[in-house]
Structure 1
Amino acid sequence: MSTSPAEPARYNLFLRDLLGVMAYGELSAFERLSSDARYSPTLHDRAVLGRLAVIEFQHFELVCAKLAEMGIDAEEAMLPFQPSVDHFHERTRPADWHESLMKAYVIDTVSADFYRSISGYVDAETAGLIELVQAAGDATVVLRDRLKAALADDPRLASRLALWARRLLGEAITQAQRVSVEHAFLGGLTGADEARAGELARALTAELAAAHSRRMSELGLAG
């Protein structure tokens, strides 16, 4: 998906919101991974989650630096998104180590898909930042491989984690739709009217669901 940004004033408001929600998402991921490390069955696993948390905080700092470059206070940009993001995490508290791993993996990958789709509409510098922050890297590989190992060790986990992943996807898509509607993301980005923005949102939702289903199949789970 690609297009030229909407008119400058509208686009700049969109960009402030996009970077604000990205920054708070990265900060929340850091907090979540740091907290969930307590479920780790071994010190090695605790260190793995700790390392991933550090990566999320580094991403948070990159987005904040971009906001500062634009003359925008990062806290002010994040505040409108704090209630909905916090509510999402309250609704999806993991019960154990395996659910923590799956949540981290699903949120990491679905968020990356969402922002990479959005990056097709933004200016080159912002697209580069999104790619840097959301690129599939060590974190995604570590989480996927750790989940595969856990499922191989205990196949009985499969049905529970498949259901949990499906719930996480539903909650994540609902969250993305709520934020998009409340802040007129697609309309603000593309200049599209409400009907066209709705079509784009439905297409994006289908893309997110399809990509998630493929990843679950790779884990040997029903998407």
Structure 2
Amino acid sequence: MSISASEPDDCVSAGELSARYDNFVVDLLGSIAYGELSAFERLATDARHSPSLSDRAVLGKMAVAEFGHYEAMCARLVEMGMDPELAMAPYQRMVDSFHERTRPADWHESLMKAYVVEAITEEFYAAIAERLDESTREAVAKVRTSDEQLQELTTLLKKMLAQDPRLSSRLALWGRRLVGEALTQVQRIGAKHSFLMGLRADATQEQAAADIATILSTLTRNHSRRMSQLGLTA
């Protein structure tokens, strides 16, 4: 695999750059795959605590979609000749730890977590995927909550907040904690596995960190906009 948008310089051979890129893509797809598998498990569990069957269906459909995303990532890894389980292994402890730190206390917090975390992770991977080869970019594009499901989740949250205005301050605080943890998680994974280092021949840790910082800034702005749509302060 090669990068059409980048040409190797005198210090990095085409073969070395291609190998660097392949390693980057395996890391990226492995992190997405385990994140989606974990999201499936979490949403399926949270759905059982729903106050009504219709509410349960909202998270149930999201859980099914997350498992489909997981399968899409595994299929792409297999196409590359990689073992999906080995690609996911480096992320298991990190992702599990994140979910332990952000365990919802009740149904209301479960919905807010789905609203905040799914959007941030999907936007992060979409931003990186813009720089990838077409096949990988198309695979990552499949990891996206449908507009219909997002609207259902937004409507459910708005309804819940309207019925009990006392939830606003608690969920606003919970949302701030979630976005802080999610952005820290993005930085931690990016630093540990050198995301963006494989995308060009002259890449350095400093340049990769600057690229991540730009993406994080965009994620933060988008999160604030989504919270405003709920009438909450980010």
Scaled to the shorter chain, the TM-score interval is: over 0.9
Instruction: Report the alpha carbon displacement of residue 54 of structure 1 after superposing the two structures with TM.
Output: 0.9
- Report what 2:209 is aligned to: 198
- Report what 1:168 is aligned to: 178
Given candidates 55, 70, 76, the residue that maps to 1:60 is 70
CA RMSD of superposed structures (Å): 1.5
- Report what 2:36 is aligned to: 26
Structure 2 vs 1, CA of residues 106 and 190 (structure 1 numbering), >3 Å: closer, same or farther? farther
What TM-score, normalized to structure 1?
0.94
Of residues 115-124 and 77-86 in structure 1, the stretch that sits farther from structure 2 once superposed is 115-124
Deviation per residue, 1:148-169 (Å, 9 max, x gap): 1111111111111111011111
Structure number with higher helix proportion: 1
User: Which SS does the other structure have where 1:41 is aligned?
Assistant: coil
- Report what 2:229 is aligned to: 218
Deviation per residue, 1:5-50 (Å, 9 max, x gap): 6821100000001100110011011000011112211122122221
Contact between 2:20 and 2:198, CA under 8 Å: does it hold in 1? yes
Amino acid at match of 1:137: D
Given candidates 40, 51, 55, the residue that maps to 1:45 is 55
Contact between 1:101 and 1:143, CA under 8 Å: does it hold in 2? yes
Given candidates 111, 134, 143, the residue that maps to 1:101 is 111
Matched residue count: 221
C-alpha distance in structure 2 between counterparts of 1:48 and 1:184, whole Å? 36
C-alpha distance in structure 1 between counterparts of 2:200 and 2:49, whole Å? 43
Q: Structure 1 stretches (4+) deviating beyond 6 angstroms?
A: none
Match status 1:16 vs 2:35: no
Given candidates 113, 122, 131, the residue that maps to 2:123 is 113
Gapped regions of structure 1 (runs ≥ 5)? none
Contact between 1:102 and 1:161, CA under 8 Å: does it hold in 2? yes
Structure 2 vs 1, CA of residues 147 and 190 (structure 1 numbering), >3 Å: closer, same or farther? farther
C-alpha distance in structure 1 between counterparts of 2:188 and 2:63, whole Å? 26
Contact between 2:72 and 2:142, CA under 8 Å: does it hold in 1? no
What TM-score, normalized to structure 2?
0.90
Gapped regions of structure 2 (runs ≥ 5)? 9-16
Instruction: Report the alpha carbon displacement of residue 135 of structure 1 after superposing the two structures with TM.
Output: 5.4
Instruction: Report the alpha carbon displacement of residue 66 of structure 1 after superposing the two structures with TM.
Output: 0.8
Of residues 149-158 and 11-20 in structure 1, the stretch that sits farther from structure 2 once superposed is 149-158
- Report what 2:12 is aligned to: none
Of residues 92-101 and 33-42 in structure 1, the stretch that sits farther from structure 2 once superposed is 33-42
Match status 1:36 vs 2:37: no
- Report what 1:4 is aligned to: 5
Larger Rg, first or second structure (1 or 2) = 2
Sequence identity, in percent? Answer: 53
